[in-house]
Amino acid sequence: MNSVIEIFTDGSCHTQKLIGAWASIIFMNNQKVVLSGVEHETTHNRMEILAVVNAIKHIHQLNEGFKNIIIVSDSQYVIGLVNRQHKFLASHFKTKSGNDIRNIDLVKEFLHLIKKLNIEFVKIKAHQKPGSTMNYNIEVDKLSRKLVREAVR
pLDDT tens digit sequence for 19-53 = 999 999 999 988 999 999 999 999 999 999 999 99
Would the pTM of this model clear 0.85, i.e. be above it?
yes
- Number of compact structural domains in the chain: 1
Whether 103 and 84 have beta carbons less than 8 Å apart is answered as no
Could you list the beta-strand ranges (E) of 29-151: 31-40, 68-73, 118-123
pLDDT tens digit sequence for 59-71 = 988 877 777 899 9
CA 65, CA 100: separation in Å to the nearest integer? 36
CATH number of the domain within which 79 lies: 3.30.420.10
Domain limits at 133?
Answer: 4-152
Cβ count within 10 A of residue 58: 15
